[in-house]
Amino acid sequence: MEFSGQYLTYTEYKELGGLLEEMPFNLLEFEARQYIDKYTFGRLKNLLSQVDEVKLCMYKLINVANSYKNLEEQDRALASENIDGYSYSYNSTSNSVDSSIENVKSNEMSNIIRTYLIDCKLEDGTPYLYRGV
């Protein structure tokens, strides 16, 4: 699967000190891009290149998304186990825990986006985070 339109390439990610392999990076980069597109109303999609603030924001978002992914995986409880067939089944410990983790993650991601992109503007002067009010 090819990922296009990335705001941060895998090469740039590695240059910044990223530790993920390429496919997990691509999946998390896509997720982080969706967060940025939500808060910028897709204004960055058609830009030929991204400013350093966007790249650094993406780097931070990818690392945060990865840490929450690891947290969500640890949150699973073993429901059944079959030793001979190496079969394991997991259930989440609680739906309310899952939703609270998602809320905390969403808040942290939005705070990162605001911190990095608050002063960024398009060539026409429109702020990235402008909501039209």
Q: Which residue has the higher pLDDT, 86 or 17?
A: 17
Name the residue ranges covered by the structural domains of the chain: 10-117
Percent of the chain scoring above 90 in pLDDT: 70
Asked if pLDDT for residue 52 goes beyond 80, the answer is yes
Phi-psi region of 128 (alpha: psi -120 to 50; beta: other; left: phi over 0): alpha
Are 92 and 76 a contacting pair, CB within 8 Å? yes
pLDDT (tens digit, 9 = 90+) per residue, 54-96? Answer: 999 999 999 999 999 887 776 555 555 666 666 666 665 555 6
Query: Is the overall model pTM greater than 0.75, yes or no?
Result: yes
Percent of the chain at pLDDT exceeding 70: 80
For the chain, first and last CA: distance in Å? 39
More confident residue, 46 or 75: 46
Kindly report the average pLDDT of the chain as a whole number. 88
In angstroms, the CA 36 to CA 40 distance is 6
Question: Which residues are paired to 37 by β-bridges?
Answer: none
- CA pseudo-torsion sign 62, 64, 70, 72: negative
As a whole number of angstroms, the distance between CA 81 and CA 23 comes to 29
Report the alpha-carbon distance of residue 97 to residue 3 in Å, rounded.
32
Note the pLDDT of residue 70: 81
